[in-house]
Amino acid sequence: MPQNDFPLCRGGIFMTSVTRIGERAKKFLLIGLGLAVVLQALVWAPATTHAAVKPLPDPNTPLIFDDFDNNGEFKQAWQNWYNQSGGTGTFSKVTVDTFKVGKFAQTPTSSASLAKFEPWHQTVDLSGYRYLNFRMKNPGYPNARIRIVINDGYKNYDMTGGFAAIPTTWTDTQIDLDALSPKINKKRIRFEVWLKQTATGYGEILMDHITGTTDNTGSSPTLSVAPLTSNSGTINNQNTTYTFKATYTDADNNKPIAMQVVFGDKAYNMREADFTDTNYADGKDYIYLSKLPVGTTSYYFRAADGSSPAATTTPQSSPTVAQSSNIVDVLVSQVGYGANDYKNAIITSTTFLSDTSYQILDGSNTSLHSGHMTYKGMTWGKYVYVIEFPNIKTIGDNYTIKTNGISSFPFPITDNVWDDYKDEMTAFYRIQRASVATSDAYPPGYSTIPPSDKVFHPAGHLDDAISLDGTTSYNLTGGHYDAGDYGKYGANQWVGAEIVLAYLRNVDSPSVKFDNDNNDIPDLIDEAMFASDYLVKFSNLFDGAMYNISHHGAFVHPNKETDGIPGNSDDRKLRTDVLSVEGSGKGAATLAATARAIRTAIAEGDVPTSLITDLTASANEYEAAAITMYDFMAANLTTTPQHGDPNKSKIFADVEMYLLTNDVAYKNAATAAASALTFDDLSSTAYWSMRPIALAEFYPVADTATQAHIKNLLDQQFHYVLSLMDDTPYGVMNQFSNFGVNEPLMSYIGDMMRYYELFGDPDTLRVIQRAMYWVYGQNPWNISWVSGIGSDYVDFLHTRLDEEAGNSAGQGVVIPGAMVSGANIKNTKDFYSISPWYEDRYQGADNMNQWRYNEYSINIQAGMLYTVMGLSTINNAATSPSNLPELQVLSPIIGDYVRGDVTVFTSTNAGTPEVRTGGAYVPMTLDGAAYKYTFDTSALNPLSNHIMRIRGNDTSGNYSFSHMHYTVARPLPDPSHPLLFDNFDGKGVWGSIGHHWVNWWNQNGGNNEGTFSKVLDTPGNNVGKFTQNPSQTSSEARFQHWNESFNVDGYRYVNMKVKNPNHPNLRLKVSISDGTNSYSLTGGWISVPTTWTDLQFDTSAAPANMNRKKAVLTIWLKQTVKGYGEMFMDDFQFTNTASGTAPTLTAGSVSATTGNSQTNFTFNVTYTDADNQAPYVVEAVIDGVVRQMVEVNASDTNYADGKAYRLVTRLSKGNHSYYFTTTDKTSDAVSTTVATGPSVS
């Protein structure tokens, strides 16, 4: 290959190679691999280019970024973005030597003048291309010098080694991108061209093309295509899952840089069918699962190895997909089932199924069992059916369950399904290790399911950390990154404790002694030692105090965030301004447990004698550090300020210190702490409170009285978890919030695993297994929430290890075993979504804290790891269903919007239920066929989500719990109820989210010309401060509430208070849009008064088709002369003004006064408006639950003589009440009086 004409960045190349261990059990992706298919051998010539899909990188299809003749990805003129030390720069496209080229020119004021050019801010994706090529010429200006810089948003790479001379003839320069160090992110390369002259005077450089190219060696790969299969036979609708399958063969045994199926003008990366297969010369299978749009879809496969022509198959057509209202899903555990485990499947349908028959098929498609499903009622808007099949125990792969023409994903039955996934659990923590290269933390073939190549990185944050004042560096490398954000938090470094307890509590089982990195130390102890080494540093440096090293950075690998050299300005700060005393307590427990595990491993013979001396020294070091941390915790329980509640961690430290040292003082402290606990002390998210894990650890060594108390507490916690899981047919606790439900679920399930280990309750084991099935695919979204595991697993993990996370073309990443938090109560971008909600979408579609449905963390994962390890030790254990009464909340149900007085109804099978309110339980009242309790929601924030805890009991006094979820409805949009958008003091639909406005863009300006902050205007009142410091008079600073849209439907006016604090050149412009249509509220640029002024803008002239349910507000600032300006804003809201006559609601009624839960009740009311104004909405409010009515006659547009509205609905058991309400938007909402009935039995 041609050599570079001038020096490149220096440094070695970071390379990783992940191989597999052949002897280890293979885990195949279970997607139809049991189906008999006939492969069609297809050998293809160089790739054919298909419209709208970017060609794969190969020798025949270089990527042209700019040929300066409008044929590249960038077709505009480059901009002279900046001129340092004076002078001017110009760019133009000219014809030279018969072809169009780019002319970069400079007229300097001195030899120090530098002219910077950029292709705007456009980036180019050079993934798969090895070389970057420039063709340049100096047309006769001997003093002209050029410097070419590329960057990936993190680091600049000087391609020319400074300012370089260019020959007077056309010269090709080729740069090896793979030689750059640190490794550049090829997904987002940006260019800068700089000119300077060695002497004063005009100069120019000509450039022809900028291209990306590959090597050209070896043989092209070939592709063989299997017929398209699906989970639904001849049924083809929008819910059918199709399996695309092709075999990639490369005679040179080159791994593909891309193996894709293309349809709908988009290329999708296919997954390896067998992760352990690394022989590409004899063919390797790839698959991709997808649903298809309505109609017929054309698809084809393509692949490239990066060094030879790509391979492409001829297009084929899918079956014709039809839109259907009848959608059926068959949900199973995608990891499969143990032969003696509880086994079930859940079937959901959008319509009631008259055919309840099903079949269980083996891998050869032979029916093993048939029967009829059990109907469980409606849950979350779908009809739900359950199948139990405990007697299917034959070991095998590719079992399926089929009903109504729809098949489940294939699943295996094995002796112990969880034993196969231990390595993925520890692999997760290895990848989360801080300050370690991934290739060192994760040896080749460590886990059967490997991480994506793109998560591998060199060691990062080797300069952790520096004092807040920047004067002192501390060696605080190591520990575990908390989640995908690289933070290391004092209270979260305890996870080594739960990891190593999985070894200690199951030490008699060989299952927990695996050593996949072959260093002769059980991997569970390995990981705890890595965590403990970090804690020792805090013990030594700060006498046991723990602090946070927080992170808020870009989506880049950790080695790119800082230079790794201690003492520099980019070092991360150690937050010594706030203590983490609970972190010290957790740290003491972790160190003590790790020391105990090492000594146990030595005694058990689980480590070789050659390591005993070093391991003993480590155990002694950990014990000493544990004592230091414990003493610090004990001395600082009430110190302020501090994060968290150390009392929730102290008992864990007490117990683990006693188990390590046998010091009775620790035992006495643990006994006192345990004896003081009540159930309320245990019923919060488990990992924030270490009390449950501490009680389980303490129980075997506690005195008899304390054991009885602990048993009572743990029994109550078990009943709490079990009964909340019985709220729905799924194996999930009914505890949804603005953070994924898997977080509390798996924390509690870790506790349940320890409960089972202590007491062997078969009910508990079934609870554990059902919860695991939920996480691994038996959920309404039919997705495994554990990365890399299952047929259809989560793709878009919220992690900065995926540098493509913000790219809409990115297709996710695999971090083996990483469990995401899963379903939220609402779509994080839509207050009005269904409940519960989940979507596996790329991170760039979200802002702020919306990623919480796909976040993973070392804390969330700890319960999962512990449970997998515990289950791996269990074979042939019986399970049983719960004997607790299933207390059911009948109404409201999750997703309901409520207003005013709300009545909750429950079943009558659990004694006298009680509602928790104000920290105490209040008895409900039996009224007809249900218990009920009425409460007032009028003081709650609109669109806020809430949970009400309810409990009943059985005849033995055991509590059964249930949760009632509800969302507070927004008031109707009338003149008395403006919609506050932002008061800049934490209130409003945007203000309450807790994030600032952002300077999203500076038109005709540079970076950071605009700023936003909240400042105090008068005592107790914050306002928004928008500023601009433009680089030129044409600069315009744009501010937005991130990329969020909001529902402002029903309001006519936009109101805001503004003030110019004495910047006469400042001008303001405000617009509203829905992403497609835009409307200027200010009608252009306006001046802002110097005193607080209320501005009101009428939106009635906005485009009629503007979607006001997706409104985006934009604020622009500019200055009439160059110079700083600022503006204050307060009380940004949407309003209506009063006019005309209020409407009336008459003839309100319900069709029947009695009925049962299957009765369709019809509510009727007539709306009349003397001004003939249409209602914004007509609502029936039944027991406080808001339900929208529909017009009886859509063609009736005369509201002055009355128009009928109707609601047909079923109701839960109980005695109900209702009223009707409406507004015409120009008068306050009107409501009928509350009427009683109907009575439902």
DSSP state at residue 850: G
Cα(659)–Cα(665) distance, integer angstroms? 12
Cβ atoms 1108, 1197 nearer than 8 A: no
**CB–CB of 754/356 below 8 Å?**
no
Q: What angle do CA 903, 909, 915 make, to 5 degrees?
A: 40
Of 373-377, 473-477, 684-688, 846-850, the one with minimum mean pLDDT is 684-688
Q: For residue range 1023-1050, what is the model confidence (pLDDT) as tens digits?
A: 999 999 998 889 999 999 988 899 999 9
Q: What is the 3-state secondary structure (H, E, C) of 663-699?
A: CHHHHHHHHHHHHCCCHHHCCCCHHHCCHHHHHHHHH
Is residue 690 over pLDDT 80?
yes
Give me the pLDDT at residue 980, please.
Answer: 96
Element (H, E) at 1115: strand 1112-1119
Residue 611: CB atoms within 10 Å? 16
Inter-CA distances, 195 with 88, 117, 161, 944, 1035, Å: 10, 8, 14, 56, 25
Given a cut of 80, whether residue 851 has pLDDT beyond it is no
| Mutual angle of helices 858-872 and 422-431, in 10-degree steps | 160
Query: pLDDT tens digits for 535-557?
Result: 999 999 999 999 999 886 788 99
pLDDT in tens, 441-476: 999 999 999 999 999 999 999 999 999 999 999 999
Residue 12 has pLDDT above 70, yes or no: no
Structure token digits, residue 917: 């309110």
Tell me: pLDDT of 2 over 60: no
Q: Are 536 and 592 in contact (CB under 8 A)?
A: no
| Residue 566 CB-density burial (10 A; 0-12 exposed, 13-18 middle, 19+ buried) | middle
Please give the Cα distance from 998 to 703 (Å, whole number): 59
Task: Identify which of 8, 12, 13, 2 has the alpha carbon closest to the alpha carbon of residue 157.
Answer: 8
Mean pLDDT of 736-754: 94
CA distance linking residue 360 with residue 182, whole number of Å: 53
Q: What is the DSSP letter of 492?
A: G
Q: What is the mean pLDDT of residues 1214-1239?
A: 98
Query: What mean pLDDT, rounded, does the chain reach?
Result: 93
HSE on the CB side for 9, CA within 13 Å?
22
Q: What is the pLDDT of residues 1054-1100, one digit of tens each?
A: 999 999 999 999 999 999 999 899 999 999 999 999 999 999 999 99
Q: Tell me the CB-side half-sphere exposure of residue 931, using CA atoms within 13 A.
A: 20
Q: What is the DSSP letter of 410?
A: P
Residue 47 has pLDDT above 90, yes or no: no
Q: What residue type is 136 in one-letter code?
A: M
Residue 849: pLDDT band (50, 70, 90) is: low
Report the range of poorest mean pLDDT among 3-7, 400-404, 709-713: 3-7
User: What sign has the CA pseudo-torsion 59, 65, 67, 71?
Assistant: positive
As beta bridge partners, residue 930 has 927
Q: Looking at 226-380, which runs of residues are DSSP E strands?
A: 229-230, 242-249, 258-263, 266-269, 271-272, 284-290, 298-304, 311-312, 316-317, 328-331, 337-338, 344-349, 357-361, 367-372, 374-379
Structural Rg of the chain based on CA atoms: 33
- Residues forming beta bridges with residue 609, ordered by sequence position: none
Distance CA 28, CA 181 (A): 36
**Cα–Cα distance, 538 to 545 (Å, whole number):** 6
CA distance 147 to 162: 6
Q: Looking at the predicted structure, is the pLDDT value of residue 422 above 80?
A: yes
Compute, in degrees rounded to 10, the torsion defined by CA atoms 758, 764, 767, 772. 30
Q: 138: closest CA among 8, 9, 7, 5? A: 5
pLDDT at site 685: 61
Whole-number percent of the chain with pLDDT over 90: 88
- Overall average pLDDT of the 699-724 stretch: 97
Instruction: Pick the closest to residue 443 from 898, 943, 12, 20 (CA basis).
Output: 20
* pLDDT given at position 686: 55
Confidence (pTM): 0.91
Beta-sheet pairing, 79-84 with 1185-1188: unpaired
More confident: 1016 or 50: 1016
pLDDT at 21 > cutoff 70: no
Q: Which residue has the tokens 């359950």?
A: 386
Contact between residue 288 and residue 261 where contact means Cβ atoms under 8 Å apart: yes
Write phi, then psi, for 110 (nearest 5 degrees). -160, 175
What is the structure's pLDDT at 4?
32
Q: Summarize pLDDT for 792-808 with one digit per residue, the tens.
A: 999 999 999 999 888 88
Q: Are 816 and 823 in contact (CB under 8 A)?
A: no
Adjacent-strand bridge partners of 396: 413
DSSP letter, residue 364: T
Q: Is 518 left (phi over 0), alpha (psi -120 to 50) or beta?
A: left
Count the residues in the chain: 1241
Give me the amino acid identity at 656.
E
In the chain, the domains with their CATH numbers are 40-52+218-317 (2.60.40.650), 63-213 (2.60.120.260), 328-415 (2.60.40.10), 419-872 (1.50.10.10), 889-968 (2.60.40.10), 979-1135 (2.60.120.260), 1144-1240 (2.60.40.10)
What is the tens place of the pLDDT at every residue in 1146-1201?
999 999 999 999 999 999 999 999 999 999 999 999 999 999 999 999 999 999 99
- Which are the contacts of 920, defined by CB distance < 8 A and separation ≥ 6? none
With a CB cutoff of 8 Å and minimum separation 6, the contacts of 1060 are: 1066, 1087, 1088, 1089, 1090, 1126, 1127, 1128
Question: Which tokens belong to 450?
Answer: 């490997």
**What would the mean pLDDT of 395-415 be, rounded to a whole number?**
97
Contact 954, 911 (CB under 8 A): yes
Residue 36's pLDDT is: 29
pLDDT at site 1006: 67
- Asked whether 407 and 345 are in contact (CB, 8 A), the reply is no
